[in-house]
Amino acid sequence: MTEIPRDTLQEQTFYEQVGGEETFRRLVHRFYQGVAEDPLLRPMYPEEDLGPAEERFTLFLMQYWGGPRTYSDGRGHPRLRMRHAPFRVDRAAHDAWLGHMRVALDELGLPAEQEQQLWNYLTYAAASMVNTEG
């Protein structure tokens, strides 16, 4: 067996490890299917069609996890807290958001290590968006 020199091995990004764009599109699409029916979360999306929000979130997650920089190219720095500031995000909204995300993530069927890594980030992100008591 021939040994491959370390410097020729390229480590995959998380984005590549989980299946790239298709995986993130499936995750976010399933998430927004839940949001569309949620009486607490749906009013936080002023656009009649959730499609633009779905696209923005997909592009953000793809970029965050090592995919194309399309999100920043089109929208600049993510500034997540600032972009969410106009909305009342309390513990109930946090829990509802994570509930829909949990369903979406479970349906992906990722390997346990990648699933846990993504879930850890999502729970952290959800907690950081809470901006009001209640």
Task: Single out the residue of 124, 125, 27 nearest to residue 67, CA to CA.
Answer: 27
Ordered domains of the chain (ranges, CATH)? 18-129 (1.10.490.10)
State both tokens at 90: 């309390």
Give the pLDDT score at 87: 73
Task: Single out the residue of 81, 96, 78 nearest to residue 130, CA to CA.
Answer: 81
Model pTM?
0.84
Give 30-67 pLDDT, tens digit per residue. 999 999 999 999 998 888 889 999 999 999 999 999 99
The segments of the chain whose pLDDT lies below 70 read 1-10, 76-86, 134
Give the pLDDT score at 132: 85
Q: Is residue 72 a contact partner of residue 117, using CB atoms and an 8 Å limit?
A: no
